[in-house]
């Protein structure tokens, strides 16, 4: 029998508990044997002393195994992608159907908005009728038939992580790379993946603001996932500006549909979908290498096959059967739309992307408190990007709001987020590093 006090004492001394002790602690988190105080002490000790690679692998596996671990018997590889979160990051909606068209099976278990970052489930729920809470039987049937599904995690998926996540939030230990790694991967690996590509964001809208911080997290995630038996690569990508030109749930779905249908292609969304998808296809043996895979993803997008697959997924999960053809009519729109006029002429030199994300949250497009109801129609659209030349009075973006008061507050936040000056800045690279 292990003992939480002894395990925490080991950690405090900088010693690594055995794999058996870590397994016991994870089970205790899930079944309540470990108290909140003991869990808080564990999180703080890990935050201060670290676990090392072997400890991260042990904790990831242990938390994964506290709940149901899915196994698949499908005629193709089971692949997925995870992003560490950003603003205007709607890649999952493009990538899941594109991978499916290329022969992969994509059981994508996604999350809701966290802080200033948007959530994939919230975006999909802007589509009328779309259900993210599927039973396991329905989830399995859809993945087998449609080849992709994007759903919320069930309660029996890595329950130790759910408990530890809540403890981290109230003990100031959220930023621990070891705990972030185990949290992300325990849930992803419980989905029974054979290959995983990671999108680790860096910049003003990312949780890891500097390239060095992003590199540390990316290496931790890749090494730990591979140590736990899942083929994995990571791309470190730019979040010094929103990825899409829109931020907000229905507005991002509009941009996804424009890109999928070729109505108005967002180059950044297209390029990053191809880059991440190429990595995933190479991991799954569906492409010779990442470059070959990127070409296959591009073909899935260009041909319209990814759009058709997205439509099948929407219909299978309760959304309109004609969504791909009628999406402009099917998505909600905000009653107030306000321009944000640029106060001076020049080039967009820098963007505080976190502030733009917070503007969306305060408009009602995210949650200030757990349980807040989201307004799917609000947000920002037509956002100017870094390096763009702009004149006095020309809109930096459009604010979509429920009323005039929240629109005015959002205008002020947007103006505070943009730096416009005379010198043309160097535009950041979309993909900054590849970690294998």
Structure-model confidence comparison of residues 169 and 201, the more confident one: 201
Helix (H) or strand (E) run with residue 431 in it: strand 431-435
Active site residue 10: no
Q: Is residue 55 part of a domain?
A: no
Does 104 score more than 60 pLDDT? Answer: yes
210 and 113 together in one domain: yes
Residue 24 lies in a domain: yes
**pLDDT for position 1:** 53
Residue 170 has pLDDT above 90, yes or no: no
Chain CA centroid to CA 337, Å: 27
With a cut of 80, say whether residue 418 has pLDDT above it: yes
My answer on whether 388 and 253 are in the same domain is no
- Structure tokens that stand for 99 in this block: 């991978």
State which of 281, 296, 326 marks the end of a domain: 326
147 is known as an active-site residue: no
- Can 183 be counted among the known catalytic residues? yes
Task: Find the catalytic residue in 56, 61, 168, 215.
Answer: 168
Report how far Cα 34 is from the mean position of its chain's Cα atoms. 30
Q: Alpha helix (H) ranges present in 125-203?
A: 136-146, 159-171, 177-190
* Domain contains 431: no
Examine the domain organization and report whether 21 and 129 are in the same domain: no
Show Cβ contacts of residue 273 under 8 Å, excluding neighbours closer than 6 positions.
91, 94, 95, 98, 297, 301
* 218 & 271 share domain: yes
For residues 321 and 188, membership in a common domain is answered with yes
- 372 versus 63: which is more confidently predicted? 63
Average model confidence (pLDDT) across the chain? 95
Task: Tell me: do 350 and 318 sit in the same domain.
Answer: no
CA angle 133, 254, 314 (to 5 degrees): 35
Summary count for the chain: helices (H), strands (E) = 17, 12
What average pLDDT does this structure show over 200-223?
95
Q: Is the pLDDT of residue 149 over 90?
A: yes
Average pLDDT over residues 37-48: 95
Number of domains in the chain: 3
Residue 319, CB-side half-sphere exposure with 13 Å CA sphere? 26
Does residue 71 lie in a domain region? no
264 shares its domain with 285: yes
What's the domain range around 12? 4-50
Respond yes or no: is residue 80 known to be catalytic: yes
CATH number at residue 160: 3.40.1030.10
DSSP 3-state of 343: coil
Q: How many angstroms separate the CA atoms of 76 and 79, rounded?
A: 9
Is the same domain home to 236 and 190?
A: yes
- The dihedral region occupied by 39, where left means phi > 0, alpha psi between -120 and 50, and beta the remainder, is alpha
303 an active-site residue? no
Q: Which of 397, 351, 138, 393 is nearest to 251 (CA)?
A: 397
In this predicted structure, which of 254-268, 369-383, 409-423 has the lowest mean pLDDT?
Answer: 369-383
Q: Are 244 and 356 in contact (CB under 8 A)?
A: no
Catalytic member of 110, 120, 173, 202: 120
Do residue 242 and residue 99 come from a single domain?
yes
Q: Establish whether 82 is a catalytic residue.
A: yes
Q: What is the pLDDT of residue 119?
A: 87
Q: Does residue 83 carry a catalytic annotation?
A: yes
Distances (CA, A) of 142 to 2, 22, 217: 42, 35, 33
Q: Enter the tokens of residue 17.
A: 């508990």
Higher-confidence residue of 372 and 211: namely: 211
Q: Is 188 a catalytic residue?
A: yes
Residues 189 and 149 in one domain: yes
pLDDT at 328 over 60: yes
Q: What is the pLDDT of residue 118?
A: 73
The pLDDT of residue 369 is: 75
SS3 114: strand
**247 and 361 housed in the same domain:** no
Residue 424 scores a pLDDT above 80: yes
pLDDT level of residue 111 (50, 70, 90 thresholds):
confident
pLDDT digit string (tens) for 218-250? 999 999 999 999 999 999 999 999 999 999 999
Within a domain: residue 61? no
CB-neighbour burial class of residue 131 (10 A; exposed 0-12, middle 13-18, buried 19+)? middle
Which of 303, 326, 349 marks a domain boundary? 326
Q: Is residue 373 part of a domain?
A: yes
pLDDT at 174: 78
Is residue 88 in some structural domain? yes
Residue 395 lies in a domain: yes
CATH code, 393: 3.90.1170.30
Out of 308, 326, 344, pick the residue that ends a domain: 326
What is the percent of the chain where pLDDT is above 70?
99
Q: Are residues 261 and 228 in the same domain?
A: yes
Residue 31 has pLDDT above 80, yes or no: yes
């Amino acid at each position: 029998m292990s003992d939480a006090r002894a395990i925490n004492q080991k950690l405090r001394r900088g010693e690594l508990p055995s794999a058996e002790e870590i397994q016991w602690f994870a089970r205790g988190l899930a079944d309540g044997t470990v108290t909140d105080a003991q869990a808080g002490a564990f999180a703080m000790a890990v935050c201060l002393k670290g676990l090392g690679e072997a400890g991260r692998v042990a904790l990831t596996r242990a938390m994964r195994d506290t709940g149901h671990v899915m196994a698949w018997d499908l005629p193709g590889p089971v692949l997925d992608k995870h992003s560490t979160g950003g603003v205007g990051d709607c890649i999952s909606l493009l990538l899941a159907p594109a991978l499916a068209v290329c022969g992969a099976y994509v059981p994508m278990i996604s999350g809701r908005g966290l802080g200033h970052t948007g959530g994939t489930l919230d975006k999909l729920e802007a589509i009328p009728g779309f259900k993210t809470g599927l039973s396991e039987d329905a989830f399995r049937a859809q993945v087998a038939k449609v080849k992709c599904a994007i759903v919320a995690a069930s309660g029996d998926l890595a329950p130790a992580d759910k408990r530890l996540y809540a403890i981290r939030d109230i003990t100031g230990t959220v930023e621990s790379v070891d705990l972030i790694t185990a949290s992300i991967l325990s849930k992803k690996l419980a989905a029974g993946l054979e290959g995983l590509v990671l999108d680790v964001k860096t910049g003003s809208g990312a949780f890891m603001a500097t390239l060095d911080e992003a590199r540390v997290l990316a290496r931790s995630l890749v090494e730990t996932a591979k140590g736990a038996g899942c083929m994995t690569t990571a791309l470190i990508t730019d979040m010094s500006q929103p990825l899409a030109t829109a931020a907000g749930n229905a507005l991002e779905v509009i941009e996804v549909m424009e890109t999928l249908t070729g109505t108005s292609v967002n180059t950044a969304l297209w390029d990053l979908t191809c880059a991440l998808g190429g990595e995933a296809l190479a991991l799954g043996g569906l492409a010779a290498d990442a470059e070959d895979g990127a070409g296959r993803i591009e073909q899935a997008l260009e041909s319209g096959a990814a759009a058709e697959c997205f439509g099948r997924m929407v219909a299978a999960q309760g959304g309109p059967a004609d969504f791909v053809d009628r999406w402009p009519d099917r998505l909600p729109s905000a009653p107030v739309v306000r321009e944000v006029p640029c106060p001076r002429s020049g080039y967009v030199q820098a963007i505080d992307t976190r502030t733009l994300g917070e503007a969306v949250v305060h408009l009602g497009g995210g949650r200030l408190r757990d349980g807040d109801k989201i307004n799917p129609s609000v947000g920002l659209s037509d956002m100017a990007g870094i390096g763009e030349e702009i004149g006095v009075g020309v809109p930096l973006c459009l604010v979509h709001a429920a009323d005039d008061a929240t629109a005015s507050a959002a205008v002020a936040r947007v103006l505070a987020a943009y730096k416009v000056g005379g010198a043309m800045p160097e535009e950041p690279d979309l993909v900054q590093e590849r970690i294998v």
